[in-house]
Structure 1
Amino acid sequence: MPKSKQIRSLQDLELVAGNCRHILTMFSGGLDSSHVLHTLAQAGCRVTALTVDVGDGVNHDDLARIAAHFGASLHIVDGREMFAEKAILPAIQAQARYLGIYPVSSSLSRPVMAHYAVEKARQLGCDAIVHTANQSQNSLRRLNGAITQLGYTGYFGSPYEYSAISRAEKIAILAAQGLTHFQARGISGDANLWCREFESGSLDNPEAFWVPELLFDWTQTPASGLPDPQLSIEFKAGRPVALNGQALPLVTLIERLNRHAGAFGIGRFSGLEHLAGGQKVLEVREAPAASLLLEAYRHLETATLDAELLREKLSQEQLWIREAVEGRWYGTLRKAVEGFIAQTTERVDGVVEFKLRQGAADLCGIRATRPIYLTDRDAWERETATAAASRHLEIHGRERLNTITLRT
């Protein structure tokens, strides 16, 4: 894609809007995407605002009100199933934790959003796709990378890559247009079915940050009290299929597990992530289902796969994670690595059991369908010793017989 096709500033956006018939903008209903709608409305071009629901509690009424205010057509797509099947499931199998610290999240959701954006843009004949990531957000390279890899040939990009207009300025511009509900910059959040993550505001400085308790949703103790501390997760060929013996679709299983494990305060993470230029930013996350599904999967594959295969898989996992994090989701290398990992899932059948307590999940059972673990070590040692002794006697007895024969 020639660099001239990329939208990187508000000036680029205005130029593109003045020369395009139809623009698709990725729309969350937040300050940045609403400000883009305002800019496009001033240009007078046809605009479609696309919202992809990946499990973050989309407010249809708010989205419709803002889109209508700026004369944009609103399309809301339910992307939860695709997100679960095409992104979360392979992430479980690839043990997708950033540097082993916390589950990756936007690295998974952004390619799915880009897929729907490119699909809708082609369907509607849009000349451009606009998103709103900026220099301090890794979504910039993930969205741009995915749109490029998907072969979109129109203009695309974010006007905030080079135009660092302040939040206060955007609020004032939208307030003048009658939209007064946007607030001054505080903690910024991004949520989906897999993870809720937060940055900025009181989280800006890693040397001294403060996390408001009200920030969390899934990991709050429910007013109705704690659920059963006993929890089991069943897998079939590397796929989570049941929770406490009840078969569930993957989306439903993740949603329920977020609430069940989260009620015990399980799944809170804090850690640094690198930007494209190498700088580090702090993020706080809650991901109860991710925490337990990743751990359960690792235990079950350890119970069923050869040690050498597992050692090689560890290195392949890091390749998978790197390609996802760096915005190369639709590249050949990630697909090739995923093919390797997919081959290892065939034997990963069984149930993993936990006992939950505040802030922790204690492993209390691994029941693999085709295990390679021992269930009775003493019996195994007796059998192994007996077999070894029998072989020794057979070998050395034959040697003695041969020696006697030679002497005679």
Structure 2
Amino acid sequence: MERKLRRDAPVVTLFSGGLDSAYLLLWLRDNGFTDIHAVSIDLAESETSDQKAELAEALGAKLHILDCQEEFARDFVAPAISAQAVYLDLHPVSSTLSRPLIAQRATELAERLGAQAVIHTANRSQNTLRRLNGALRLLNYSGLYGSPYDLEPVDRDDKQAALAAAGVDLLKDRSVSGDSNLWCREFESGILDDPENHRVPGDLFRWSSVRAGVAPSEISIGIESGIPVAVDGRPMTLVELIAELNQRVGAYGIGRYSGLEHLDNGEKVLELREMPAAWILLRTYRHIEAACLDAELLREKQHLEQVWVREALEGRWFGDLRLALQTFMDNCALRTTGNVTWELHTGGADTRSIVAPRSLYLRDRERWEEQSIAAESSAHALFAPATV
């Protein structure tokens, strides 16, 4: 990529404010690029706008921060909830959802600027590589795109040393890589590379650390036509609702996940994350759709859910099959309306009430049996031979 790009023409880089994206800005500056645009898609990540601005300025880049939280919740997280998007029953997907949105907004900015390339920082041991490249390809971006780390990876220590030598020491204490948004906080690499030894330092968890003295409590979550809309009867936007659940549910130590996820050629890498809101929302949704949808429809939906996950995870969010599957999920969601009340306790939660206005469940089995037998007897009498 370096040999093909003009040093005086605009380039767009994806910028999270972390070690990898900061080093990319340094690399571009040191290699003579003079028109660098760092685009940060605000999905409620851990790094603040001030931190990003300070880094970008120190490294000679023009920073563009685009607030996409509402769009992310509406167009990416909500479809994932309706599709029950969980990788092999191990962890809810997250970067699978954020990468296509990031690629979409970066492409739009690059086209407005007349940029010759969209550059990111994913390497071969990160699934982000195929998700970003796949999205950029399906979006028909006409410029160059990719990551210099794909063919020439750089060691974390070398990145930190190079930044420190350039007078940028804001990232010197980073021992792991992180990816955060309103839906998930994920940790990887550094001290967490090894599946056989990966104790996560407690201070990395912000949502799911058990609060001292927390007592069991109830929480009710309302869903209308497949969209979470209320907590304890209070209407909320999806962004507000997820933020509240991350705090309230996470206070009980709920929502931590670990598991292995495959790379392009079948190798597996460790995934560690905290997702309290996802934990309870996915379960709430399943309870309500179980109350509303026919059993055979649910069986087929469960099969198609993993096809949806596969297509999104492999970088085909904008592909025809994922879009067709979403139509099926959306049709099921139109009939998924109800409310679930949970009792939260340290380490878990139990349902206390499942209410759906157009439900298929029975509330009084004995009465139903009596009515069912009476109806069947009446039908038999109707067709009984007449007596002479």
TM-score, length-scaled by structure 2: 0.96
- Quick one: percent identity of the two aligned structures? 48
Match runs of 1:6-405 below 5 Å: 12=1, 14-18=2-6, 21-42=9-30, 43-183=32-172, 186-222=175-211, 225-226=213-214, 229-396=217-384, 399-401=385-387, 404=388
Q: Distance in 2 between matches of 1:180 and 1:69?
A: 11
More deviation in 366-375 or 34-43? 34-43
Larger deviation, residues 169-178 vs 181-190: 181-190
Equivalent position SS for 1:392 = helix
Comparing 156-165 and 187-196, the one that deviates more: 187-196
Displacement of 1:18 in angstroms is: 3.0
Give 1:9's aligned residue.
none
Where 1:386 maps in the other structure, the secondary structure is helix
Q: Secondary structure at the match of 1:91?
A: helix
Q: Is the 8 A contact 1:227 1:263 kept in 2?
A: no
Amino acid at match of 1:117: A
Q: 1:328 to 1:20 in 2, by over 3 A?
A: farther
Give, in whole Å, the separation in 2 of the partners of 1:304 and 1:181.
51
Tell me the distance in 1 between the aligned counterparts of 2:262 and 2:291. 34
> Which stretches in structure 2 are left out of the alignment for 5+ residues?
none
Q: By how many angstroms is 1:57 displaced?
A: 3.0
Measure, in 2, the Cα distance between the counterparts of 1:382 and 1:302. Answer: 24
| Cα pair distance change 1:78/1:228, threshold 3 Å | farther
DSSP-derived class of the 2:168 partner? coil
2 CA distance for matches of 1:54 and 1:184? 24
Deviation, 1:228, is 6.5
Structure 1 residue 400, shift from structure 2 partner: 4.7
For residues 232 and 247 of structure 1, the distance between their equivalents in structure 2, rounded to whole angstroms, comes to 12
Aligned length: 387
Give the 3 Å change call, closer, same or farther, for CA 35–389 of structure 1 in structure 2: same
- TM-score normalised over the length of structure 1: 0.91
Using the TM superposition, give the Cα deviation of residue 307 of structure 1 relative to its aligned residue in structure 2, in angstroms: 0.9
Tell me the SS of whatever aligns to 1:374. Answer: coil
Q: What is the identity, as a one-letter code, of the residue corresponding to 2:331? A: Q
Query: Is 1:115–1:147's contact at 8 Å kept on the other side of the alignment?
Result: yes
C-alpha displacement of 1:346: 1.4
Q: Secondary structure at the match of 2:3?
A: helix
Q: Runs (4+) of structure 1 moved beyond 6 Å?
A: none
CA distance 1:118–1:26, shift in 2 (3 Å) = same
- Give me the whole-angstrom Cα distance separating, in 1, the residues matched to 2:176 and 2:23: 19
Deviation at residue 221 of structure 1 after TM alignment: 2.8
3-state SS in 1 of match to 2:352: strand
1:77-134 C-alpha deviation (Å, 9 max, x unpaired): 1111111011100000000000012111100011111111011111111111000000
| SS of corresponding position for 1:240 | strand
How large is the RMSD of aligned CA atoms in angstroms?
1.5
